[in-house]
Amino acid sequence: MAKRIDVSGLSAYYGAHKAIDDISMTVEPRSVTAFIGPSGCGKSTFLRTLNRMHEVTPGGRVEGKVMLDDENLYGSHVDPVAVRRTVGMVFQRPNPFPTMSIFDNVAAGLRLNGKYKKSQLSEIVERSLKGANLWNEVKDRLNKPGSGLSGGQQQRLCIARAIAVEPDVLLMDEPCSALDPISTLAIEDLIGELKERFTIVIVTHNMQQAARVSDRTAFFNLAAVGQPGKLIELDDTERIFSNPSVQATEDYISGRFG
């Protein structure tokens, strides 16, 4: 299921403003890659080009290529809706469907994809909630609204919803930034488990988090405000945090930045 992502020469625009410039990188299957970099350098923008969510923004435009194994996501015959069904996404702020029950939230993606029998649905919902380490906390109230959970539980519900459809890739944009340290730890553990099955890309502002959860780390930077963001370097996480090859990376990591 997990697939390799191969990006080449990718630039993204908001109207006339170029937000990221000429990014190329490879993300191995069954690994966690962390994106770090200062605010505004285009981490979220880049992440959203990987499931074609960028073009949903008015004026959003992408140039370049994103290969998922051997399929170009920006090929002329590719349907962005189909892409989003195979590349899942978890957002910064937990966003369960407020009008749906916990069960329906997890089943939402499945119901979009096709017909399932009730028993099949229950089975997948249970498996996904277990996969997101949420099952024990919600198994007695599956019919209650998802918006009634705590922030950390809601975020895990969103993860359950994303993995229920068995995506090839899981994108996470600062999934812990709205959470307390305990919930954060729970989600970090979860990421460690999920990488057995998925290719995971995570944006984070938390260096320790990047060091804890990721195998590879990509550092993004921008020359000046208003300039497009660029990929500065991508390497094994250990290397990035101990002995990066670019001076700017070391400055950023050690806090000697800007």
Ligand X SMILES: Nc1ncnc2c1ncn2[C@@H]1O[C@H](COP(=O)(O)OP(=O)(O)OP(=O)(O)O)[C@@H](O)[C@H]1O
Q: Which residues bind another protein (CB under 8 A)?
A: 51, 53, 56, 58, 81-86, 88-89, 91, 93, 95-101, 108-109, 112-113, 144-145, 147-148, 158, 161-162, 165
What minimum distance in Å lies between the beta carbon of 248 and another protein? 32
- Binding partner selected for residue 132 from another protein, ligand X, Mg ion, none, CB under the kind-specific 5 to 8 Å limit: none
- As given in the structure block, the two tokens for residue 73 are 């996501």
Question: For residue 234, is it left (φ>0), alpha (ψ between -120 and 50) or beta?
Answer: beta
Residue 44 binding Mg ion, by CB under 5 A = yes
DSSP helix/strand/coil, 80:
helix
Which entry of ligand X, Mg ion, another protein, none binds 40, CB below 5 to 8 A by partner kind? ligand X
Size of the site for ligand X (CB under 6 A): 12
Q: Is 41 in the site for ligand X (CB under 6 A)?
A: yes
Could you count the other beta carbons within 10 Å of the beta carbon of residue 51? Answer: 23
Q: How far is residue 233 from each of residues 40, 65, 68, 248, measured CA to CA in Å?
A: 17, 19, 21, 10
Residue 146 makes CB contacts below 8 A (sequence gap 6+) with 96, 97, 98, 100, 101, 102, 105, 154, 157
- Give the nearest distance from C-beta 52 to another protein in angstroms: 10
Cα–chain center distance at 199: 10
Site for ligand X in 42-71 (CB under 6 A): 42-45, 57
117 touches 124 (CB < 8 A): no
Q: Closest approach of Cβ 220 to Mg ion, in Å?
A: 10
Of 37-45, 109-117, 126-134, 246-254, the window that binds ligand X (rule: CB under 6 A) is 37-45
Give me the residues that bind Mg ion (CB under 5 A), please.
Answer: 44
Give me the residues that bind ligand X (CB under 6 A), please.
Answer: 14, 17, 19, 37, 39-45, 57
